[in-house]
Amino acid sequence: MATGTTPAACIADFCLIPMGIGSPSVTPYIAEVQKLLEQCEGITFTMHSFGTTVEGSWDAVTKAIGRAHESMHENGVPRVHSSIRIGTRTDKPQTAQDKVDSVRKYLAESEGKSESSAK
């Protein structure tokens, strides 16, 4: 427990919510976050319908999300909430795409077996 380091790699998924803005629509804010993420070094990211998945070192990923909060504040948003899932693993390297591919491959093989056994 003496170490002061953070993980060299992580995958995070965050959903950022501007609060106190008087409009239920958040599209312009989320769009600005996407632009900001493009400027952040050391990360790759993909937007989906309920968040954005970011990959990189722990420090780069959490800094990028923090910059997103700060930039919203600079644009006049008084309060910002984020819900973040973040995962790290040491048993093997894995990208976000690997995770999806693994489940799809498993499902495809599983369906193949079902069809065979159904004959």
Question: Which residues in 78-97 contact a copy of itself (CB under 8 A)?
Answer: 78-91, 96-97
**Judged by CB under 8 A, does residue 39 bind a copy of itself?**
yes
Straight-line distance from the first to the last Cα atom of the chain, in angstroms, rounded to the nearest whole number: 57
Tell me whether residue 66 is exposed, middle or buried, using C-beta atoms within 10 angstroms of its C-beta: 0 to 12, 13 to 18, 19 or more: exposed
Indicate the SS3 state at residue 72.
helix
List 43, 45, 47, 119, residue binding a copy of itself (CB under 8 A): 47
75 membership: H or E segment, kind and range: none
Rounded distance between C-alpha atoms, residue 92 and residue 89, angstroms:
7
List 42, 46, 112, 113, residue binding a copy of itself (CB under 8 A): 46
List 44, 110, 112, 113, residue binding a copy of itself (CB under 8 A): 110
Question: Which residues in 6-35 contact a copy of itself (CB under 8 A)?
Answer: 6-7, 10-13, 15, 17, 19-28, 30-32, 34-35
